[in-house]
Amino acid sequence: MRTRVVFNQKGGVGKSSITVNLAAISAHQGLKTLVIDLDPQANSSQYLLGDDATYSADKPALEPNIENYFEEVLGTQQSKGLLGNAIGSILKGRAKGLESYLHASPYPRLDVIPASPNLGALAHALESKHKIYKLRDALQQMSGQYDRVFIDTPPAFNFFTLSALIAADRVLIPFDCDVFSKRALQTLIENVLETQDDHNDHLEIEGIVVNQFQAQAKLPREVVQQLKDEGLPVLDSMLPPSVLMKESHHKNQPLIHLAADHKLTQAYQSLFNEIEQK
């Protein structure tokens, strides 16, 4: 099982779009694939599960979800009936693995563990009880069930991002050719390398995914060249801008199912092939 984290501390760089579309291509090619959504905005969850995963002030988040999993890790969910006591609740929580929180997407071989808007409220308790390795351990227990796992992360270096990096083999860094994004890259890479040194020596930066790349514009070309000149692992397959992505979001259909022959879909296909060959 190969586990990839899609991570950038800057929002709006295409994390969820990249996560979902690479996962959809993976499943489309016959690989049993799981998406874990750790971002409270739940964009990946909504992209794949549609209205079921859309929440609002009067509509609760879809359950079971990743918040429920971490609640079980903490032993905070109280069971009913014969296990309606603290010890029973803890034992029941420990008995559950990540497979208890799965939702099947509409697409063959592609499952989702959705996010929750309240996930962040658990971070302090999880940190104080040293639960940083729980996601890694849970994924290891599922190693025979999936070929590929893609983890979407919040746009911050927090408990959940660190948990994902500890659980992963590889990290993909979306980059949108913005000067501010370039300035933030050094801190991001330092965080990944520190995680590698302290927690996960198998973790590697698989590459920087250049998103919204306008090949005819001078500034994006210059920024990408600067990254390459600095020795950063920029992937050759770059993703062009297209209104098709908005249509894909609106219809809750990954590109490979919406328009397989479109140039943006083919760019994602090229990106998937490139990282799979690494």
Query: 88 pLDDT band (50/70/90 cuts)?
Result: low
Burial 235-265 (b: 16+ CB within 10 A, else e): bebbbbebebbeebbeebbbbbbbbeeeebb
pLDDT in tens, 141-150: 998 899 999 9
Q: What is the pLDDT of residue 89?
A: 52
Considering 6-15, 38-47, 85-94, the range whose residues carry the highest mean pLDDT is 38-47
What the block records as the tokens of 200 is 């996960």
What the block records as the tokens of 6 is 């899609």
Q: What percent of the chain has pLDDT over 70?
A: 93
Q: What is the pLDDT of residue 54?
A: 86
Average pLDDT over residues 137-158: 95
Q: Which residues lie closer than 8 Å to 251 by C-beta, 6 or more apart?
A: 258
Residue 136 reports pLDDT greater than 80: yes
Domain of residue 142, CATH code: 3.40.50.300
pLDDT in tens, 178-219: 777 787 898 999 999 999 999 999 999 999 999 999 988 898
pLDDT in tens, 218-233: 988 999 999 999 999 9
Q: What is the pLDDT of residue 56?
A: 78
pLDDT in tens, 236-269: 999 999 999 999 999 999 999 999 999 999 999 9
As a whole number of angstroms, the distance between CA 204 and CA 195 comes to 10
Q: What is the pLDDT of residue 215?
A: 86
Residue 82 reports pLDDT greater than 50: no
* Model pTM score: 0.91
Q: What is the pLDDT of residue 96?
A: 78
Between 24 and 120, the more confident residue is: 24
CA nearest to 106, candidates 24, 43, 31, 29: 24
CA nearest to 53, candidates 155, 137, 152, 139: 152
- Structural domain range at position 125: 2-276
Q: Supply the mean pLDDT for the chain.
A: 91
Q: What is the pLDDT of residue 81?
A: 40
Q: What is the pLDDT of residue 177?
A: 81
Q: How many domains does the chain have?
A: 1
Residue 91 reports pLDDT greater than 60: no
As a whole number of angstroms, the distance between CA 7 and CA 86 comes to 36
As a whole number of angstroms, the distance between CA 238 and CA 243 comes to 16
As a whole number of angstroms, the distance between CA 181 and CA 172 comes to 15
